Amino acid sequence: MPTRTVTVGSSSGLHARPAKIFVEAAAKAPVKVTIRSGDRKPVPAKSMLSVLALGAKQGTEVILEAEGEGADEALDSLAELLAKDLDADA
Amino acid sequence: MSDQLLDPRAIRLGETAAGRDDAIRRCGEVLVEIGAAEPGYIDTMLAREQSISTYVGEGVAIPHGTLAGKDLVKRDALAVLRFPETVDWDGEPVTLCVAIAAQGDGHVELLAALAEILLDEDQARELREATEPETVIRLLGSIQEEAKQ
The alpha-carbon gap from B51 to the nearest alpha carbon of chain A, in Å, equals 7
Mean pLDDT of chain B: 90
pLDDT score recorded for residue A89: 55
Contacts of A14 in chain B (CB under 8 A): 108
B107 in active site = no
DSSP state letter for A42: P
pLDDT greater than 60 at residue B28: yes
Identity of the residue in B52, B62, B115 whose CB atom sits nearest the CB atom of A53: B115
E strands present in B66-117: 77-89, 92-101
Domains of chain B, by residue range, sit at 6-148
pTM of the model: 0.85
pLDDT greater than 90 at residue A15: no
Identity of the residue in A13, A48, A49 whose CB atom sits nearest the CB atom of B108: A13
Distance CA B146, CA A29 (A): 33
Bridge partners of B60, per DSSP, are B57, B96
**Helix or strand holding residue B75 (H, E):** none
Do the chains contact at B115 and A12, CB–CB below 8 Å?
A: no
Nearest to B28 by CA among B62, B64, B4: B64
Do the chains contact at A53 and B56, CB–CB below 8 Å?
A: no
Using a CB–CB cutoff of 8 Å, tell me whether B18 touches chain A: no
Mean pLDDT of chain A: 92
pLDDT in tens, B66-109: 888 999 999 999 999 999 999 999 999 999 999 999 887 667 77
Contacts of B109 in chain A (CB under 8 A): 55
Nearest CA in chain A to B110: A55
Do the chains contact at A52 and B114, CB–CB below 8 Å?
A: yes
Structural domains in chain A, CATH included, are: 3-83 (3.30.1340.10)
Contacts of A50 in chain B (CB under 8 A): 115, 119
Using a CB–CB cutoff of 8 Å, tell me whether B149 touches chain A: no
Give, in words, the CATH class of B6-148. alpha beta
pLDDT greater than 60 at residue B127: yes
Distance CA B73, CA B4 (A): 15
Number of H helices, E strands in chain B: 5, 5
> Residue B3: pLDDT band by 50, 70, 90 thresholds?
low
Do the chains contact at A48 and B56, CB–CB below 8 Å?
A: yes
